[in-house]
Amino acid sequence: MKFGLLGSGSWGTALAKLLTDNKHAINWWLRSDENIVSFKSRRHNPQYLRSAIFDVSLLNFSIDPIEVIAGSDIIVVAVPSAFITEAFKDITKDAFKGKKIVSAVKGIIPDKNLLLNEFLQEEYGVALYDYFTLLGPCHAEEVAAEKLSYLTFSGNDPEMTKEIASCFATPYLKTLYNTDVYGAQYAAILKNIYAIGAGMAHGLEYGDNFLSVLIANCADEMAGFLRQLGQKVEVGKPLHEATTHSQKRVVTNYAASVYLGDLLVTCYSLYSRNRTFGNMIGKGYSVSSAQLEMNMVAEGYNASRCIHETNKKVKAEIPIATTVYRILWEGLHPVKGFEYIESILV
């Protein structure tokens, strides 16, 4: 299998490290010839994860995403959701014909309010059977440092899901797989929103006791959203394989790493962009100031608005996520927002 990689940020770079550590050659889209020249000469990404050194003989760079797609069997998408539409604007309608897509995107495409698989189906005719996700409690910085991490691959073709997952497995990266394409994606989206809330709590100088209660309630809220979507959420039981392409036939083991585990690490870790972003908001930064200060994408910012809109149809009880949305998008003061959150925690 020949891999193509769209996305050269920290997460894309970490995924490239996993593949090349397993001696898989990659066609990789970088945005500028300058970056390509620097990468080839220094053997690391000039902008992200500079400690990760590559065997550049395994890297075939291009500034043309269509060229990368055409020369690859499996396309790994690691572009932040907010930039998907711009990144894909010149890609032809038939470019993904006969390709498998692996999404490492942890967000909703904000200008369309679509999951990546929905966007690819609508714009490029990509079938759900050819779409896979790569999600879980895994930070790019820890992958670069070869600290033991776990990723879960989801897909409706179990054998292909296992085969793709095996290409990323290393002594420092354990791979799991399931068939819960929709549930895993929505869990990844929601946990970013809750991590912003956890960061806000830290910025407002709440203590560890409050934070633990907040995250426990966030976990319950997330499970409720997934149930309302049609998931059968259980704790401590293995995830059943789907019998159709519908996400409604999947039983979710909610205690698994891709659900509860990812929520916990994103809310607690100092590597978490969303927690960092929320911390700034709690300390009094405006949204625009926090974005400028970080110079990185916090997926939960746009996700909070997208989930707010999505929930008009889903109709789940998600007061914590709604309060984070109101703070970020409607000007609710964080102190007032958390006074309300205090009153509803159990």
- Tell me the pLDDT of the chain (346 aa) as tens digits: 899 999 999 999 999 999 999 999 999 999 889 999 999 999 999 989 999 999 999 999 999 999 999 999 999 999 999 999 999 999 999 999 999 999 999 889 998 999 999 999 999 999 999 999 999 888 899 999 999 999 999 999 999 999 999 999 999 999 998 888 998 999 999 999 999 999 999 999 999 999 999 999 999 999 999 888 876 666 555 444 433 333 444 445 666 788 888 999 999 998 899 999 999 999 999 999 998 888 777 889 999 999 999 999 999 999 999 999 999 999 999 999 999 999 999 9
Query: Do 301 and 324 touch, CB atoms closer than 8 A?
Result: no
Rg of the chain over Cα atoms, rounded to whole angstroms, equals 19
- Given CA atoms 221, 226, 227, 233 in this order, what sign does their dihedral have? negative
Phi-psi region of 45 (alpha: psi -120 to 50; beta: other; left: phi over 0): beta
Residues 6+ apart with CB under 8 A from 158: 177, 179, 241
DSSP 240: P
SS3 177: strand
Q: What is the CATH number of domain 3-178?
A: 3.40.50.720
Q: What is the pTM of this model?
A: 0.89
Query: What fold, for 182-344?
Result: N-(1-d-carboxylethyl)-l-norvaline Dehydrogenase; domain 2 (1.10.1040)
Query: Do 266 and 298 touch, CB atoms closer than 8 A?
Result: no
Q: List where CATH 3.40.50.720 sits in the chain.
A: 3-178
Look up tokens 């309608």; give the residue: 93
Q: List where CATH 1.10.1040.10 sits in the chain.
A: 182-344
Q: What gap in Å lies between CA 202 and CA 270, rounded to an integer? A: 11
SS3 content of the chain, % helix, strand, coil (to 5): 55, 15, 35
Edge-to-edge strands of the sheet including 149-155?
A: 59-62, 26-29, 3-6, 74-77, 100-103, 131-135, 149-155, 173-178
Q: What gap in Å lies between CA 11 and CA 43, rounded to an integer? A: 17
> Which among 228, 220, 219 has a CA at the least distance from the CA of 248?
228
